[in-house]
Amino acid sequence: MTATRPRLATRLMAAQAIVVGIGAVTLVVSAMLVAPGLFHDHLTQVGVNTPDVQLHAEEAFASSFAISVAVATVVSLLAAGLVSWFLVRRVSRPVEELALAAQGVAGGNFAVEVPDAAFSRELHELSESFTFMAQRLSQSESIRTRLLADLAHELRTPLATLEAYIDGMEDDVVSQEAMNYATMRLQVDRLRRLSDDLREAAAAEEHALGLVLRPIDAREVAATAVAAADPRYQSKGVGLALANSLTPCWIMADFDRLQQVLANLLDNALRHTPAQGHVSVEVECASGFVQIRVSDTGEGIPVDQLSSVFERFHRVDPSRVNTDGSGSGLGLTIARAIVAAHGGTLEAHSAGVGSGTTFRVELPLDSRVGVLRHP
């Protein structure tokens, strides 16, 4: 059984009492050792040599000194006690309230009331830090809960499909032909892609992507991504064009990770742009930044959902679920995290449904690279 520990207020009051007590004892002992001899010497120097007079004067001095020291000690103890009580109340109460709030957070209550301890800067900063921590924990818990719910929803479709095909084959309702096996393999691939993207999203949010930064020209990144996506665009009948900057746009970046970002944006544009539509990629550098814009003439995004599209498993139209295994609902989340890890931003712009969408990547230019490459 854990022994009961003294309260902080008790310890502080005891410490103050000990300090005052040691001071009083030191004063009394020092005065008793020094004051009588000095008083006797002063009496002798002024010519008071009569023994009876000296004895009476020294007794009067001793008694008055004792009374004065006693009164001063009592008053000092009372004053120190009152001041200590005030200080202890102002210090210990916020600490006790923070301890209670910490217990509430540990129990899962993230909406705890943390009073603003304005007595000192340190306590005020501690209170603010605790409030911020509680808010972050609340957000993390909400995200975790939503992630589990979304993940369960995402897993339900491929698992239900696999279960239906397996049951159908066992009951000889579904034939064991190549097309059916291909459908099952597609669902397995979808589950594998979902697993990989979840791991990638977790690494991105924990800043554990392991970026390999080197001087690269943003125009080269865009050209490579467009060349890789072009066959898919041609097969669907969607036009794809690249408008590169006339001047180099040097940045310090991870080439493969930026390829991943643009590949995701191009796949997303292709998925939401109908045949005969058009997608353009533009690279422009100015004012210390490079902008890479991926614009399409596709479905567009409602204005109130422009920031939500970067959330995990978000769908502009929840009734539309990918059944072909393309897209895990994490691509834009990962893309924004990669861009943020490069010190940049990724934003979506759309005038609404049916008006197309533009995703804009903005990354800081590295002037030092430009000087090195173009002396």
Q: What are the tens digits of pLDDT across the range 119-139? A: 667 777 777 787 788 877 777
d(CA 8, CA 224): 65
Q: How far apart are the first and last CA of the chain?
A: 74
Q: Measured between alpha carbons, how far is 104 from 81 in angstroms, rounded to an integer?
A: 33
- Calculate the average pLDDT of the chain: 79
Phi, psi of 215 (to 5 degrees): -70, 125
Segment holding 278, helix H or strand E: strand 278-286
As beta bridge partners, residue 295 has 280, 358
364 pairs with which residues across the strands?
289
- Comparing 7 with 322, the larger pLDDT belongs to 7
Rounded CA separation 28/207 (Å): 65
Domains and CATH numbers, the chain: 8-109 (no CATH), 140-205 (1.10.287), 214-373 (3.30.565.10)
Q: Tell me, what's the pLDDT at 133? A: 82
Residue 183 has pLDDT above 50, yes or no: yes
Which tens digit of pLDDT belongs to each residue from 237-258?
A: 999 999 998 899 999 999 999 9
Distances (CA, A) of 195 to 155, 192, 253, 313, 331: 10, 5, 26, 13, 12
pLDDT at res. 374: 42
Q: Is the pLDDT of residue 292 over 80?
A: yes
The band of 297, judged by pLDDT with boundaries at 50, 70 and 90, is very high
Q: Please report the pLDDT score of residue 266 as a whole number.
A: 94
Is-above-0.75 flag for pTM?
no
Rg (C-alpha) for the chain, rounded Å, is 39
Instruction: Quickly state the pLDDT bin for 352 (edges 50, 70, 90).
Output: confident
> Which amino acid belongs to residue 197?
D
Residue 361 has pLDDT above 90, yes or no: yes
Among 20-34, 140-154, 335-349, top mean pLDDT goes to: 335-349
Query: What pLDDT is recorded for position 249?
Result: 93
Alpha helix stretches (DSSP H) within the chain: 8-45, 51-106, 121-170, 178-205, 218-236, 255-271, 331-341, 367-373
Q: Which has more pLDDT, 19 or 58? A: 19
